[in-house]
Chains A and B, each alone.
Chain A
Amino acid sequence: MPELIRNGVRIDDSFAEAFPMSGTGILITGPNAKWARQAAQTMTGFATSVIGCGCEAGIDYEVPPEETPDGRPGVRALLFAMSSKDAEKQLVNRLGQCVLTCPGSAVYSTVPGEFEIKVGDAVRQFGDKWQMSKVVEGRRYWRVPVMDGEFFCEGKVGLTKKSVGGGNLLVMGADWDSTMRATEAGVAAVQSVRDAIAPFPGGIVRSGSKVGSKYKGMGASTNDAYCPTLRGVTQSALDEDIGCVLEIVIDGLTDAAVSAAMRAGLKAIIDMGPEQGAKRIGAGNYGGKLGPFHYHLKELLP
């Protein structure tokens, strides 16, 4: 395999294999940035992987008061699921349990998708017939009386089936500290790209998985080829200078957002160089037969 090297960092001639997802996004505003952020954090909690959480969600970016519909600070959160039905169920549940409950919050649609999820139209019933509907500039909102005033929520939120989930970068370094340094820089770059999120803790997953297991009924298990402690005893994908692997997983509203996020992440990790950061960057795939979206690292290099 001809080796690609950028700024001393080895780049695998590999690709990330990603899948179509149903994606939606909401803007949550609050009386101040702290409480807008709080609502978004709570709503996107326990949403790292569709396998166990039902959806993947995260904070996309913060919105200054001048740019929100109600003039209050806001946070844009994205949510992805394997089907539009799952996305709807997850969004309505999370909105009802995490955003409706959060002091001062209000919710607006931000994704002009092909489909719509009825969110306010579901949450409104909490108002026990005291809720009021308001249409402003063709968009319907609900005012639901709650103990700190009113929960203000748009009736419908856009949903797109053109979203992509599973863009990824495998960051490989000599030890935990240097690998983490590089991965954190990569995550920061990924998070600066709009319409894309990294749903795992701090944007990073350390327990990458392979398909299948030696146990019956387990669909996925640890990716032993990338576990540094098994380097000598398994069919390892790791070189001798690799002591730690961390992965950044990326979901985006569009194919373009995922490739832009991967491109930004790659650049940040490469810019740090192999002494301070990662020695090698790879990407996870299943041979290319399962997912229709392929992001080849060599095409995304700076």
Chain B
Amino acid sequence: MKPFTLKLRQEPPQRVDLSILTPDRLAGLSPAQIEKIDIGVTKFSTKVGDIFEILPGDLKNLRYEGGSSRFDLIGAKLLPDFSIHVDGDVGAQLGRLAHGGRITVAGSAGAYAASGNLGAEIEIAGDAGDYLAAPLAGELSGMAGGRVIIHGSVGSRAGDRLRRGVIVIEGSSGEDLGSRLIAGTIVALGETLGRVGYLNKRGSLILAQCKDFGPTYLDCGAHQLTYIGLLSRSLASVSSSAARLLSGKLRRYGGDTSVYGKGEILTPMEG
């Protein structure tokens, strides 16, 4: 069956909140009813029908034909077994607090993508903005489950306060990757800037490129870890380069000893 499709008519005149357009929340609504939903975030009204042409189909799979960097909160609170695909860019807070399911973006995402993700698989072909998988201001923890794959680069503070789950960044990362990690795993294949793993409590940062991690990360030697083998096989289907990085021995730097210090940075041997 064809996916339920939202075909872009025109670029929205303002940022739009698309959190209502998830399969479970659209169930039982007719196309006419959906077109009347207000998605604007200012005093001016913008309705679904103004921006999208609706092509009904299987609601389990939602498809956006055409994207925009003004499309905020796509796939927010998405439930397991549903999927959303965006053929274009998306705005901020993609997959915010998603419980499960799968979100794929052919373009790039704005800030706070996968923020507070609880179990969804989120894959972005392009770049992601600042605060990937991070908590919003005032929240105590960031992503708490699921998997995020970024084939491009990410902005600063990616994986901030990550609590659970796996993040793979194939491109370069902005400043302070994996800051305040609580737990979870981040794999970064490209260049990293600034303080990596700053205030890391129990998280694992796996970096393809070694650098000076400062005096609070302590060398624990090179090891072949079973967990890394499992992760390598788990990532083989989504990121072959990540799987390759994880196939050998990695040098373990324990830290950040300025805080709880049970976390680690793992890099290839020659690093």
Which residue of A72, A137, A138 is within 8 Å of B229 (Cβ)? A72
B165, B226, B233, B262: the one contacting A132 at CB < 8 Å is B262
Q: Is the CB of B224 within 8 A of A149?
A: yes
| A48-87 interface bits toward B, Cβ cutoff 8 Å, 1 = contact, 0 = none | 0000000000000000000001111000000000000000
Answer whether A135 and B164 are a contact pair too, CB < 8 Å, given A69-B233, A70-B233, A129-B262.
yes
Q: Report the bound CA distance from A143 to B184 in whole Å.
A: 12
A72–B145 CB distance below 8 A: no
| B44 in the interface (beta carbon within 8 A) | no
Per-residue A-contact encoding for B181-195, CB less than 8 Å = 1, 0 else: 001110000000000
Q: Which residues on the B side are within 8 Å of A1 (C-beta)?
A: none
Select one of B145, B185, B230 contacting A152, CB under 8 A.
B230
Q: Cβ of A106 and Cβ of B226 under 8 Å apart? A: yes
CB distance from A38 to the nearest CB of B (A): 16
B225-245 CB mask vs A (1 if < 8 Å, else 0) is 111011111100000000000
Closest to B164 in A: A135
Q: Which residue of A lies closest to B235 (CB)?
A: A136
Per-residue contact bits, chain A 124-137, to B (CB 8 Å; 1 contact, 0 not): 00000110111111
Residues of A within 8 A of B234 (CB): 69, 136-137
A71 engages B227 (CB within 8 Å)? no
Q: Which residue of A lies closest to B163 (CB)?
A: A135
Q: How far apart sit A135 and B144, CA to CA, in the bound complex (Å)?
A: 10
Q: A134-B204, A135-B165 are in contact. Are A143 and B227 (CB under 8 A)?
A: yes
Q: Are B204 and A132 in contact (CB under 8 A)?
A: yes
A77 to B226 CA separation, bound complex (whole angstroms):
20
Give the residues in chain A near B229, CB-CB below 8 Å.
Answer: 70-72
Q: Which B residues from 124 to 150 make CB contacts under 8 A with A?
A: 145, 147
Task: Please name all residues of chain A whose beta carbon is closer than 8 Å to the beta carbon of B262 when the two chains form the complex.
Answer: 129-130, 132
Taking CB as reference atom, which chain B residue is nearest A149?
B223
16 more contacts with CB within 8 A, not counting A129-B262, A150-B223, are: A69-B233, A70-B226, A70-B229, A70-B233, A71-B230, A72-B226, A130-B262, A133-B183, A134-B185, A134-B204, A136-B166, A137-B234, A141-B230, A149-B223, A152-B227, A152-B230
10 tightest A-B CB contacts, nearest first? A152-B226, A70-B229, A70-B230, A106-B226, A135-B164, A136-B234, A71-B229, A69-B230, A143-B227, A70-B226
